[in-house]
Amino acid sequence: MGKLDNKVAIVTGGSRGIGAASALALADEGADVAISYSSSADRAKAVVAELETKGVRAAAFQADQADA
């Protein structure tokens, strides 16, 4: 059991770099994870697939956080 079992985390910019690493770390602790990405759907899908191998639910959403 992880510290974040039954919790949901949202990670902006989760398709690469620090965002992807953060999403994976949260999944390691048991959180289901939603990530956002701005342009790289393929990278986002790859991160979601890796998250799901950890036994958590995961989803990616395209969003431009700079656009209110």
pLDDT of residue 66: 82
Domain count, the chain: 1
| pTM of structure | 0.91
> Which residues are bridge partners to 59 per DSSP?
34
Query: Residue 21: pLDDT band by 50, 70, 90 thresholds?
Result: very high
67 falls within a domain: no
- Segment 12-26 shows an average pLDDT of 96
25 falls within a domain: yes
Q: Which residues 6+ apart lie within 8 Å of 29 measured at CB?
A: 2, 3, 4
2 falls within a domain: no
